[in-house]
Structure 1
């Protein structure tokens, strides 16, 4: 698995990020031959995640070199980030020269805010897919969606699927399979409730009522306020 050519993979970091949106694909992509990972934020201050701990950026926006792969994670902090001009400008500038532009979960809305999903097929977390037309995207029911150089994926754990898909595109299936084996990504969950298509209806209704109806309304308001 040797490769002399380096690939810079830059993750956007922002307050309120869902840490697994970032750390899951970062873990897989870091094992790709030639990978060089960066985490870029508005400053080098610690970034508070949704899990009660913080992460440290490697770069601020001004010092971050051009990305070959740009990845935008999601999280409840996306609604605030949508209104931050410096964040959107960073996405726009980095995306212009990137080979691949990607998102995990609600990170898709930051791509959309930067004008990168116009007319593109895309996906996001199931609780927000109905909002994708607000950023010009065509909602597509799949865990990973590729449209040109844009790759979007569903919620949280979908980041691993996206990462392995991208490794396969860049380095071939054998390398992607080796990484999957190395991290023992062999899902066998105790319940088949990972998507509304399979979860009990009362579980889906409860989660929508207690979390995602309000969260989606907040996202919609943020999109309306910034478009």
Structure 2
């Protein structure tokens, strides 16, 4: 059996690392934020401690064999219900997958803290933070570039407004980012340049 101070250190390490990752989600106002990630990480660490050291008295019996990894395996699968609770579907857009993945990852950090693998836990927490906070701007830039389309429309004068154009768009397919109308003197027509964002690569309307 490990010493009480070692147990406390492992649980505190899990709370700090889980809270560090949870703070990144909290600043974006996700439902699974600071406290949720801390609780998941500390709980996973405690499960690991109980699994590894909680049955030391029973193991003294020559006929008793226990596998500490079984509890860790159950944590990995059991944490899925929390992840599922953080996933939302708004129209045709799924939100919360990254938060669900961060909960799943922070459970692994907690298990590492519970097992005393501090280097692995700290390294994983840093990598998770880099993925959540550092790569997101690059991901946003790529999506904006890949999901942007520009349309040039010639229409009769005052026959097409932003509201009318929005009504013509299939629901949940794209969003109007810019609507520029330039009146043309010839034949009383307007040149309209529409910039769309969030266009799905598979949408045939905007190919």
- Name the TM-score, length of structure 2 as normaliser: 0.26
Report which of the two has the higher share of helix: 2
Decide which structure has the larger Cα Rg and report it.
2
